[in-house]
Each structure stands twice: as C-alpha cells, then as structure tokens.
Amino acid sequence: MASPATSLKGGTSALSRVRTRAAWLFLTPTLLVMGLVAGWPLGRTFWFSFTDANLTDLAASRFVGLDSLRQVLEDPDWWTTVWTTFRFAGVSVLLETVLGMVIALSLNAKFRGRGVLRAAMLVPWAIPTVVSARMWEWMFNDIYGVINAMLLSVGAISESLAWTAEPGLAFGAVVAVDVWKTTPFMTLLILAALQMLPGEVYEAARIDGASPIRVFFQVTLPMLKGPLMVAVIFRILDALRVFDIFFVLTGGGTETMPMAGYARQRMFEYQEIGVGSAAASLLFALIAVFTALYMVVGRVKLEGE
Amino acid sequence: MRWVKKVAFWLLLAFIAVYTLFPFYWAIVSSLKTGSELFEVSPWPKQPAWDNYAAVFTAQPFGQNILNSVLVATAVVVLSLALGLTASFALARIQFRGRRVLLLAVLGVSMFPQIAVLSGMFELVRWLGFYNKLPALVLSNMILTLPFTVWVLTTFMRELPKELEEAAIVDGATPWVIVTRVFLPLLGPALVTTGLLAFIAAWNEFLFALTFTLSDEVRTVPVAIALFSGGSGFETPWGIIMAASVIVTVPLVALVLIFQRKIVSGLTAGAVKG
Amino acid sequence: MKKVLAGLVVAVALVTPRLAQAEKLVIACGSVGQEQEVCKQGAEAWAKKTGHTVQVMSVPTDAGQQLAQFQQLLAAGSSDLDVVRIDVIWPGIVANHFIDLKPHFPEDVLKQHFQPIVKNNTVNGKLIAIPWFTDAGLLYYRKDLLEKHGQKPPTTWQELAQVAKVVMDAEKKAGNDKLVGYVFQGKSYEGLTCNALEWVDSFGGGTIVDSNGQVTINNPKAVEAIDFFASLVGNVVPKGVLSYEEEGARGAFQSGNAVFMRNWPYAWSLANAKDSPISGKVGVMALPKGGAEGKSTGTLGGWQLGVSKYSKHPELAVDLVKYLTGPEEQKRRALVGSFNPTLTSLYKDEELLKANPFISSLYETFTNAVPRPSITGTKYNQVSTEFRNGVYATLSGKGKAADNLKKVEAKLKSLGKNGKW
C-alpha cells in the first residue's frame, strides 16, 4: 500500500483519483458562479468588440471584425489615456509603497497608543471612494478650499491654486488622493510581514554594530520581498483600471482621462458599445501582458512545491 | 541625542495621524456647519448644528439604505467565503491537471475594468429578473470579491501542514471532512481577513448599485450619498454629503478596529512565500 | 334574497371597472432636491384627478449619468419607465426609444410653445418630446459694485472685461484682493460647450455646425472669440474657472467674490435668498455682444417630456404629459420653483410678472436663444466633446485658437462626412 505522503503527490492511485474527483466537485459551485457572473459579461464584452453595436439600436449591430479595435488604436486620444494611466499607476504605486513602508516601520515599533494609530491609519481605506473623492474635491476648491487657505496662511503660495483645473496640477491632485486612500492597504501588508520577521536576525545585526539604514536595506528589505511583490501586483492591477477618482475630481476632460474613462466615454456618451468594448478588451490585454511580464521578472510562484 | 530621536519619531507619528485623519476631521467640521458658513474656512463651526444629520434621514430613506448595504455586504461575504473555501482547498492541496490555468483565469477576471462588464451584467440581471432587487447586487459583487477571496484563501491553504491532512486520510476522512473539521478551525484569521476585505468591497461598491437599482428603497449607501442634492438640480449640498459620509464611515471604522488584529495576522502567512 | 345579491354583484361590477383599472406610471423627472419635489406635486395632482398612481424615480444629478442610465433601460426594452424627462440635446440620441407625440397633440397646442424647442424635439418628422421648461445663459452682475465705482452694465464682452478690471483694481487698492472679475463654467464638460457656443455666436462666428450639417467652426470670428476669452484667463478670470461647473461659479459669485457671472436662471432666487451675502445686490441681463457687430445670445437649455416606446400604458402616459406641460402646471412650476415656462403666453401673465419681474426680459432671451447643433443626431456628444476639448486647450494655454479650432474642424468633418450625420 502506498504511503499517504506519496499518494498526496498525485499519480493514478485510487486515492489520487478520489481526490481529483473531489477537487472538481469542490470547484464546481465556484466555477458555476464565476461562469455566470464573469463569463457571460466578459464574453459579451469580447463579442461586442467585434461589432459596431450602438446603444441607440442594439438590435441593428453587425459583425465588423477588427474594425472597432482599429478605431481605438488609431485614436490619438486613446494613446493619451494609456500614457496617463500608466504614468498614474507608476507614480502612485511607487509613492504608496514608499509611504507604506515608512508608516509600517513606524507602527512596527512599540509605543503607547500603537493600536489606536493602527486603526486610525485604516480610515482612508474604509471610506467609499465616491465619498473620499468628494471630500478632497471640497478641500481642493480654489476659492473656499481649506488646502489653499492653509498654504496661503503659511506663505507657501502667493495666490490660490486651481488644483483640479490645470492639467498639470490636476494629475498631482488625483495622485495625492489615490495615495492617501490606498496607502493603508500597503501599510497593512508590510506591517504584517514585518511582524513575522524573526527577531534573531536583528539581534545579530545589532551585535555586529550595523547602522539602522544598513540593517534595513540588507536584512529587512530582502526578507520583505515576497509580500511586497504580492501587494504591488494587486495595487498595479487596481491602478491600471482606475476610474472613480479621475472622474469625480476632474470630470471628463480628455487630458485627465484614464483608459477606463475612455471606454466609458465611448460606450455611454457616444453610445458606441462596439468601440467602447474594444477599448475595454484592449485595456484587459495590456494589463494581462503587463502582469505576465511582472510575474516572470519578479519570479512570483503560482504554486507550492 | 536620544531625545532628539524620540522627538523626531513622535513628530513622524503626529504627521501620520494628521495626514490620515485630516480629511475626515474636515468632513465632520463641515457636516456641523449650515448655510453660507459652509463656504468659509474655519476650524470649527460657530454654532455646531445637527441639521445636516437630520436632513440625511428625512430627505430620503437613508436608514433603509444602510440596511440594504448591510444585507448585501453580509450576503456577499457569506457566499464568497463558502465558495472560496471549497475552491481554494481544491486549488491548493490537490494536484490535478488544469490547476494552473484555473488560477490564472481567476486572476484574469480581476483584470477587467468594472465599466467593461456593466452591459453584460445588466443583461444578466434582467434575464434573472433581479432588476431593482437586492439579489442583483449580491450576484454582481461576486465578480469583485470572488477572485481575490479564492487567491488569498488558496495561499493560506497551501501553508497548512501536510501531516494533519495525511493523518486525517489515514483515519479515513473524506475531503469534505478534511476541509470542515481539520482545516476550517485553523483558518480563522484568513477567513476574517478575506471576509472583511469582501465586506468593505461590497459596502463601497458604486457602479453596479447605481445601474441595477431604480427606487430609493432598494438603493445602497454610496449611491444614496451620490444622489443627494440641494435646492436645485445644480446645487451640491456639501453639508449633507459630509454628514452622510461621517455616518457611513464610523461603523466601518468600528468594524476595522475590532478585527484589526486578526487582519494583520491574517494577511501575513500566505504572502510571505510569494 | 339571492336575486338581490345577484343584483348587487352586478351593480358593483358595473361601478368598479374604473377603480379596478387604477394603473401605476413611473416618471423620471428631476435630479432630486426642489426639482423632484415640484415634479412630485404635479404628478400627484394628476394622480388624484384620474385615480391612477405615479411613482417618481430618482436619478443622478449629472445629466450625462442620467442619459447612461436611461439608455441602459431603454436599450433593454424595459417597461419600468413610462415618462422620461429629456435634456434639450438628447432627442437625436434617444429618438428611437420614444413614441411620436404628434398624433396626440393638436397643431394649435404645439404652436403655443416656443417653436425652436418644438423643432429641436422633432427628429425625422417624429415629435419625440413636448417642451416642459426652458433655460438660457444669463449674465449676473453686482449692481452695488458697479455703482460704487461709477461703471455701467456692459453691452459688449470687451466692455465687460474693462469694467471688471476697473472694479477689481479699485477693490484691491481698498484691501479686498479676493475679488475676481468674471466667472463661468470652464470645466471640460457640457457646460463649457454652452459657454463657448455663446462666445462664438455672440461674435458672429456661427454655431459650430450649421443647420445643413456643414462644419462652420473654423472661421475668423470664432477664432477671435475663443482667443479673447483665453486672454482673460489668468487676469480678469481666475484660473480656477477651468474646474467650475454651475455650482462652482455660483459659489464664487454668491460668496461675494466675483463681479460678473454667467449662469442659468436658477441662480437668481438663490442669490437673493435670505442668507445670501449678496442678497439684493444682484442685477441680471442678457449676455453681452461680441463687439459692436456682434449679437446678444444665450445657449438654449431646458428639458422636455417624452413617452417611452416600451411603456405598458402609453395612452395614460401621454395624458400625464399633457397635464404636466399644460398652462396650469407650467405656471405653478414657475411660481413655486422658478421653472421657466415654454408656453409663450405665460410670459405676459400678470401673476407671474409680479412674482418674478425679470421674466419678461427672459422672454427676449429665450426667443433669441441659440440651440446646440441637433442636426448632429446621435453623434452630438462626440461633437460637443471635440469642440470643448479644443476650447479647453486654448483656455488653459495649450495653443492658440486658430490651431485648436482647425483640429476641431478636421475631427468634426471626419465625423459628419459631407454634412451627413
């Protein structure tokens, strides 16, 4: 009789057959729900990408092959949004990671009120985006916004800035709000990982007389690589799909529009479901390619031993 | 020199606290102001008034909206965890062909912007007869919560010791028993973490809630807040919006405070292996 | 006894048909707040009169979001919505989903409304909505500030800029440096299209696309107009205007920080409200001309009521529309909520004139209002976006109007090849 250890590893023994059957049984409910909830809508989007569907008369849509896709690729506005989105993702994920690291390191230390500060730190993440974007919109207002008021009173600026108006400043404003909102997610993951690190390593480093900075870069950081990579990948996925923050803070101007905003504009403002779906499919493809690259370069493992 | 370090450290903590909480504080202050005072920049209203808070509940069925949000979010959590638990066991501990493809497919679902699935989802909701009913939101939110839940639970499942499983098999346990009797008790932190994440995701979800509901009594909180308005079609009732935001955030913060310890230990384990 | 009972049953059966057929209609009519309330009152009055019920559906405040929502429902053939409130720029986009109202309204009734609006609502010979209330851009100004500094209300945009500068400088000397000259809706959304169309038309530069479908936007007068306003941004006009919608501009003006404001009529009652800092100090007039040979104009706004093709009770819905757009209800809405009527006769109504004296000057504005090019049909949103992108770029300093409008022209020409939209 084969030992349980080897039969857990697969092969065609009776046990592994039973387990494989169980696996599929266990997966079926999830696959059913996913098939329904994700399969149908995503399938429809892919389907629409190959048609010229229009909201004014959906029944009259015809198959047009790659034409809708071509329209998107040939539109310079599309490429503007691609650039805006990737720039946004790069800058904000970088800032969130750095800031998250700083805050996590601070909260890792022992001090009174640590629990309260940890809970407080989660507030930005707990507030619905729709709500926090409006809060910040209110604060950024150029005439009676509190940010301008404070900056003016300490003399940092000579006149009120139009934070959400000028395209250059607007991008910064959107990044600032997004960083504020999602840094807690990064902080949480990094803090968790920090708390799992073995204390002996630090002891050894201290006995060796290494400076805190060296300790951080040569001891702590390498050990954090795993959780950091996972957190970053999910943040990048979210950042590339961003829509809410841009829409609430800057409206629908093409200069400050992300890729998802472009898809939405085509679908619901221009009624061009076909072209909009093509843009959404393109967005998906870009993200998938990027994720694959990231996983290969970062050597993220998909399975255990 | 040590006290310099200490002072610097506390300054840093103060900065973190202010940076994180300032908008929320400003929302509270604004919610207590009325009329034109809203347009002035003052750190505290001259005469704090609860008018805005009262208006939140009188102008629309906000109490009902909060209840709706709670119902939807809870249902989403229960469903996601139930489905995710069984699926992750299969994906993490049983080797079978197609495992890798399935994991990638699940991740792939998270790569679509919400706006892209809106039309298809709308068709689905109408076909099932769920339009303007809460089940529409429970179902549609699954596309947001299920992938993440499956992935995180899978990661945790992987970490659980093989010996426990082997011993259970020797004892003649079926896979179902292994999941429910052997592993489930060990997964406490993981379940709390993913449950909380799913709850917040469903609670804050806006686009589906806006599109699939028609009447005020069925709406959820984010949509209700977005639909507040003032005296005219153009007027933005900042005071009321801020009051509603405060009302909505406080219970969430309380939830997070309660489960905070569990999240931290929960997210830890699986992530370390990458 | 049995015969009596049978007789009673028959009698009841004869009487109840009317009660048994009480139907429910759903109307989407106002983005909440006062609009929804006033609409509800009107709908309930009709319900009481006819014995049916009406449910008012709440919709997002943003018109674009409303459109998206309606389109989802209508494209799915949903019978959940019977009567829909349509923006003045939507007829071309949603015409497919509405019934033709011409057979239900006699010719003389239709003639009582502002004809440009009726024409606006007619797509390919099909009248898809009845005018309900109308709007046009107006110029608000601080009477008190102008008097204080010996200035007269301007008749041209150039005068406006000069007057604004004089007042701004004088007030700054006196210590008030928060005051700005002129605020309008400069954010890149439909409101900017409205403002920019007013500029272009007031300078004599046409209406982006003319009534034959030809793209006319790239002409010297239009270029002059856009360049002129771009030059104002940063001195008389604050840079923040580029993020203002209606409420942003109103906030600046109502808090006393602007000399001039362009906005819709709704701002009037709010500016004169009890707790408004500028109550009683506001004047309102038609927008200035673009130079001596220009014209005074205002972009036509307003909303109409249409009946969904998929409604289960089209006859009842039409009846509701008839009631809501009738003279009695329009007058009530004008008195209670300052909704400007679309029935021309109401502009001479004594009661209305007493309550709202400036409504007579509004009549001029509405008759001369310039509509946005509805000839572009389903492509209107795209046309509007391209146009305002060009204007926004110029206002924010990215290129001169000549170059930007040339690009706009090229894009529009590719959308409407040879005048065919």
For residue B269, what pLDDT is reported? 45
Same fold: C24-128+300-367 with C138-299+373-415 = yes
For residue A88, what pLDDT is reported? 95
Please indicate whether, in this complex, the C-beta atoms of B227 and C72 are within 8 angstroms of each other: no
Taking 80 as the threshold, does the pLDDT of residue B271 lie above it? no
For residue B149, what pLDDT is reported? 85
List the beta bridge partners of residue C261: C140, C183
Q: CA of B73: how far to CAs of A248, B145, B161, B189, B222, in Å? A: 24, 11, 32, 19, 13
Which of A25, A264, B135 minimizes the C-alpha distance to C64?
A264
Q: With cut-offs at 50, 70 and 90, classify the pLDDT of residue B36.
A: low
**pLDDT tens track for B175-224:** 788 888 888 877 776 787 778 778 888 988 888 888 888 777 888 988 88
List the beta bridge partners of residue C299: C370
**In angstroms, what separates the C-alpha of C136 from chain B's closest C-alpha?**
14
Q: With cut-offs at 50, 70 and 90, classify the pLDDT of residue B148.
A: confident
Report the residue of chain A nearest C398, measured CA to CA: A167
Domain shared by A155 and A95, yes or no: yes
How many beta carbons lie within 10 A of that of residue A296, not counting itself? 9
In this prediction, the answer to ipTM > 0.90 reads: no
The shortest CB-CB distance from A230 to any of B17, B257, B274 is to B274
For residue C421, what pLDDT is reported? 79
For residue C10, what pLDDT is reported? 57
> Which fold does the domain B61-227 belong to in CATH?
MetI-like fold (1.10.3720)
Domain shared by A84 and A8, yes or no: no
Cα–Cα distance, B55 to B81 (Å, whole number) = 37
For residue C7, what pLDDT is reported? 56
* Three state DSSP letters for C182-243: EECCCCCCHHHHHHHHHHHHHCCCCCCECCCCCECCCCHHHHHHHHHHHHHECCCECHHHHH
Please indicate whether, in this complex, the C-beta atoms of B113 and A126 are within 8 angstroms of each other: no
Residue A62 is assigned to a structural domain of this protein? no
For residue B221, what pLDDT is reported? 87
Question: Which subunits count as partners of chain B given 3+ CB pairs below 8 Å?
Answer: A, C
Which of C278, C179, C273, C184 minimizes the C-alpha distance to C233?
C184
For residue C15, what pLDDT is reported? 52
Query: Which CATH class name applies to C138-299+373-415?
Result: alpha beta
Positive or negative torsion for Cα B232, B233, B234, B236: positive
Taking 90 as the threshold, does the pLDDT of residue A13 lie above it? no
Decide: B80 and B146 in contact? Cβ < 8 Å: yes
Domain shared by A216 and A271, yes or no: yes
Beta strands C303-307 and C83-87, pairing class:
antiparallel
The tally of domains found in chain A comes to 2
Cα–Cα distance, A154 to A197 (Å, whole number) = 42
Q: Does B109 touch chain A (CB under 8 A)?
A: yes
Q: Where are the domains of chain B?
A: 61-227
The shortest CB-CB distance from A29 to any of B86, B95, B165 is to B86
For residue C367, what pLDDT is reported? 83
A29-33, A72-76, C65-69: least confident range = C65-69
Question: With pLDDT > 70 as the criterion, what percentage of chain B qualifies?
Answer: 88
Q: With cut-offs at 50, 70 and 90, classify the pLDDT of residue B274.
A: very low
Cα–Cα distance, B248 to B257 (Å, whole number) = 15
| Rounded average pLDDT over C90-97 | 88
For residue B111, what pLDDT is reported? 82
For residue B272, what pLDDT is reported? 39
CB contact residues (below 8 A), chain B span 150-189, against chain A: 150, 158, 162, 165-166, 169-170, 174-176, 179
Taking 60 as the threshold, does the pLDDT of residue A7 lie above it? no
C-alpha angle B19/B24/B30, rounded to 5°? 125
For residue B267, what pLDDT is reported? 47
Q: Does C232 touch chain A (CB under 8 A)?
A: no
Q: With cut-offs at 50, 70 and 90, classify the pLDDT of residue C202.
A: very high
Q: CA of A203: how far to CAs of A193, A199, A200, A209, B212, in Å? A: 18, 6, 5, 10, 57
Question: With pLDDT > 70 as the criterion, what percentage of chain C qualifies?
Answer: 94
CB contact residues (below 8 A), chain A span 55-84, against chain B: none
CB contact residues (below 8 A), chain C span 178-197, against chain A: 178, 186-189
Please indicate whether, in this complex, the C-beta atoms of B111 and A284 are within 8 angstroms of each other: yes
Chain C CB contacts of B125 below 8 Å: none
A91-95, B166-170, C203-207: least confident range = B166-170
Q: With cut-offs at 50, 70 and 90, classify the pLDDT of residue C4.
A: low
For residue C44, what pLDDT is reported? 92
Domain shared by A94 and A21, yes or no: no
Decide: C35 and C61 in contact? Cβ < 8 Å: no
The reply to whether CATH 3.40.190.10 applies to domain C24-128+300-367 is yes
Domain that includes residue A21, residue range: 1-38
Cα–Cα distance, C129 to A247 (Å, whole number) = 31
DSSP code at position C288: P
For residue B68, what pLDDT is reported? 93
**In angstroms, what separates the C-alpha of A96 from chain C's closest C-alpha?**
27
For residue B268, what pLDDT is reported? 46
Q: Does C69 touch chain A (CB under 8 A)?
A: no
Residues of C with a Cβ under 8 Å from any B Cβ are 30-36, 55, 57-61, 65, 69, 72, 76, 78, 80, 245-247, 250-251, 254-255, 264, 266, 270, 275-277
The shortest CB-CB distance from C57 to any of B215, B233, B237 is to B215
Please indicate whether, in this complex, the C-beta atoms of B229 and C69 are within 8 angstroms of each other: no
Chain C CB contacts of B35 below 8 Å: 275
Q: Which helix (H) or strand (E) holds C261?
A: strand C258-263
Both tokens of residue C377?
A: 């049909």
How many beta carbons lie within 10 A of that of residue C310, not counting itself? 18
Selected residue of B66, B94, B139, B194 to mutate for chain A interface (largest A Cβ count, 10 A): B94
Residue length of chain C:
421
For residue C185, what pLDDT is reported? 93
For residue B273, what pLDDT is reported? 38
Taking 90 as the threshold, does the pLDDT of residue B137 lie above it? yes
Chain C CB contacts of B233 below 8 Å: 30-33, 35, 61, 266
Question: Which subunits count as partners of chain C given 3+ CB pairs below 8 Å?
Answer: A, B
Q: Which helix (H) or strand (E) holds C133?
A: strand C130-133
Domain shared by A14 and A113, yes or no: no
Q: How many CB pairs under 8 A join A and C?
A: 90
| Rounded average pLDDT over A271-275 | 87
Cα–Cα distance, B146 to B76 (Å, whole number) = 9
What's the CATH number where A228 sits?
A: 1.10.3720.10
The shortest CB-CB distance from B268 to any of A129, A196, A288 is to A196
Please indicate whether, in this complex, the C-beta atoms of B236 and C247 are within 8 angstroms of each other: yes
Residue length of chain A:
305
Q: Where are the domains of chain C?
A: 24-128+300-367, 138-299+373-415
Both tokens of residue C281?
A: 């100090």
Question: Which subunits count as partners of chain A given 3+ CB pairs below 8 Å?
Answer: B, C
CB contact residues (below 8 A), chain B span 43-72, against chain A: none
Residue A269 is assigned to a structural domain of this protein? yes
For residue A83, what pLDDT is reported? 93
Mean pLDDT of all residues belonging to chain A: 81
- The three-state secondary structure class of C306 is strand
Mean pLDDT of all residues belonging to chain C: 86
For residue A10, what pLDDT is reported? 52
Report the residue of chain B nearest C339, measured CA to CA: B232
**In angstroms, what separates the C-alpha of A7 from chain B's closest C-alpha?**
10
Cα–Cα distance, C171 to C332 (Å, whole number) = 42
Please indicate whether, in this complex, the C-beta atoms of A269 and C396 are within 8 angstroms of each other: no
For residue A6, what pLDDT is reported? 47
Taking 60 as the threshold, does the pLDDT of residue C333 lie above it? yes
The shortest CB-CB distance from A192 to any of B41, B110, B267 is to B267
Taking 70 as the threshold, does the pLDDT of residue C5 lie above it? no
DSSP C24-87: EEEEEEESSTHHHHHHHHHHHHHHHHHS-EEEEEE--SSHHHHHHHHHHHHHTT-SS--EEEEE
Domain shared by A20 and A118, yes or no: no
**pLDDT tens track for C363-399:** 888 888 888 888 888 888 889 999 999 999 999 888 9
Q: Which residue do the tokens 């757009």 mark?
A: C325
For residue C310, what pLDDT is reported? 92
Selected residue of C67, C185, C243 to mutate for chain A interface (largest A Cβ count, 10 A): C243
Cα–Cα distance, B162 to B178 (Å, whole number) = 11
Domain shared by A30 and A168, yes or no: no
